[in-house]
Amino acid sequence: MHNGVMHSNASGTDLVVVLEHLVTLIRQVSTAGGLSTAASSALNRLGRDGPHRLTELAHAQGVSQPGMTQLVTRMEREGLVRRTANRGDRRGVVVEATDAGLDLLRRRRAERADALQHLLDRLDPQDQAAIAAALPALARLVEARASD
């Protein structure tokens, strides 16, 4: 990689470096709701994948169950999620995004999209086309990982 541009023989390391910078940029422009990174990530998962048992959500997010319980309690106080009894197992708790939580996700996504579109508009047409052409391959990369 030279000057931030990936070459056709780019390595996983090159991709990681670019994606780390992109993730940092996205986090910086996502200010709606004032969510922490952990809260944003958990809410995104619930919005994308639907309700989760609290233990599953903690595992999926790579945090302890007590840590997730604290996070969900804060998000519940803010009206972003709700806990309900698991229909199949009354002892279990299911966490789901509320309408307010889903609305916040939409606003945050719009913030990100607007900021990225502004940056994309500053690129030359060849770079814009290269990014557009790479999106399907990046989506397949994510899908391949999800199917593991």
Where exactly are the structural domains of the chain?
32-113
Binned at pLDDT 50, 70 and 90, residue 148 comes out as low
Beta-strand relationship, 81-85 and 52-53: unpaired
Confidence band, pLDDT 50/70/90 cuts, at residue 2: very low
What does the pLDDT look like over 30-40, one tens digit per residue?
A: 877 888 889 99
pLDDT of residue 10: 67
**What is 32-113's CATH topology?**
Arc Repressor Mutant, subunit A (1.10.10)
**What value does the mean pLDDT take over residues 106-124?**
93
- Greater model confidence, 19 or 100: 100
The structure tokens listed for 77 are 């106080």
pLDDT at 147 over 60: yes
